[in-house]
Chain A
Amino acid sequence: MNLYLFTMILAASLVTVLLRFLPFWVLKGRRTPDYIVYLGNVLPYAIMGMLVVYCLKETSLLKAPYGIPETISVLITVLIHRLRRNTLLSILAGTVCYMFLIQAIFR
């Protein structure tokens, strides 16, 4: 388990380091290819959508509690963020809401 954990961390670290250093090695003042610039503009939006789905992937709509705690907590997070646009507040509200729901209501 520990070796697996360690190699997983190392793999993620290597890729991250590579991404951060690559432009400094290959670019050195040259122009960035247009396709890469385009991907850089649109990819973050798409990936965030993917990560939201990733987080909720184990939620079952067919078994109790039918994804109700997740739905409520996501809606609360969205609502609070639309109202206040304070990232920390939104995360805290959503998490506390979810923890309360699964610990106290949907046990």
Chain B
Amino acid sequence: MLFPYNTGMKDLNGTYAKDSSLPAALKATVPVMSGYVVLGMGFGLLCQSSGFPAWAGILMSLIIYGGSMQFVLVGLVTSGASLLSAALTALMVQARHLFYAISMVDRYRDPGAAKPYMIFTLTDETYSLVCTDEIPEGCDPDRYRFYVSLLDQIWWVGGTVLGVLLGEVLPFNTAGIEFAMTALFVTVFVEQWLSTRNHLPALIGLGSSLACLLVFGPSRFLIPAMVLITVLLSLFRTRMEQKEAGQ
């Protein structure tokens, strides 16, 4: 079995204590599996239909490992965007990962050799599983969280590989498959809208982007939109924090 580190807990016989972290993690990641495999397949198919070589999509799932950013990157590459806009877009789209990491600093104080990997794999879904302090019984927290992180990425990369293979062998008409990305963002947008009463940030995002799209055109609006969003959010800070406190 793959143990990147051991827990140091030995039982009376001097062997390492029986640990149920792997089966418990497997069970915990089942909901993520269905989502990651299906979305990963959609991503793999999109890469294939965009004419990318097979390694590209798989490499993205391995070293970027962030659904939204990977989908957007396919669009950026197809439209020939600059490196700067790729980096800035990654900064904005992935900014929330900063906050996942912030809240894990204490929990990931000393998980051993796997620590860098566990930090790298803090995606939305993995974070939602590892941020809780309720670890299943009989599990070492660090090892359980490591398995959750590893399994989630296996589902994601596995889905991508399946999608790439499927796009290669199946001759079905994939025209329009790129709408999966639109549907993904629309769904998350609606979900966020329903989860809060303060709709100003969402409206600032929509409004600034639409305004910049009209002014700068489809191939140049992204960077000005990101700047405008940050400026507006900063300007409205006092108002929104008062609103938050008033609720």
Contact = CB atoms under 8 A, between A and B. Distances in A.
B209 A50 contact: yes
A15 B94 contact: yes
Given A43-B201, A52-B186, A91-B187, A15 B90 contact: yes
B206 A13 contact: no
Nearest to A100: B176
A19 B95 CA distance: 7
Interface residues of A, number: 69
Interface residues of B, number: 93
Nearest to A38: B237
Interface string B188-223: 111110101001011111111110010000100110
Contact of B177 (A57, A58, A99): A99
A106 B68 CA distance: 28
A29 B106 CA distance: 7
B240 A42 contact: yes
Nearest to B122: A20
Contact of A53 (B53, B56, B106, B206): B206
B176 A81 contact: no
A12 B105 contact: no
A98 B101 contact: no
Interface string A1-42: 010111111111111110111111001110010011111101
Contacts of A37: 99
Nearest to B204: A46
Contacts of A53: 206, 209-210, 213, 225
B185 interface: yes
B190 A81 contact: yes
Contacts of B100: 20
Contacts of A40: 95-96, 98-99, 102
A97 to B, nearest CB: 8
Given A11-B83, A38-B241, A87-B187, A16 B66 contact: yes
A16 B97 CA distance: 8
B97 A91 contact: no
B113 interface: no
Contacts of B70: 12
A43 B200 CA distance: 11
Nearest to B124: A44
A52 B206 contact: yes
A81 B184 CA distance: 11
Interface of A: 2, 4-17, 19-24, 27-29, 32, 35-40, 42-58, 70, 73-74, 77-78, 81-82, 85, 87-88, 90-95, 98-99, 101-103
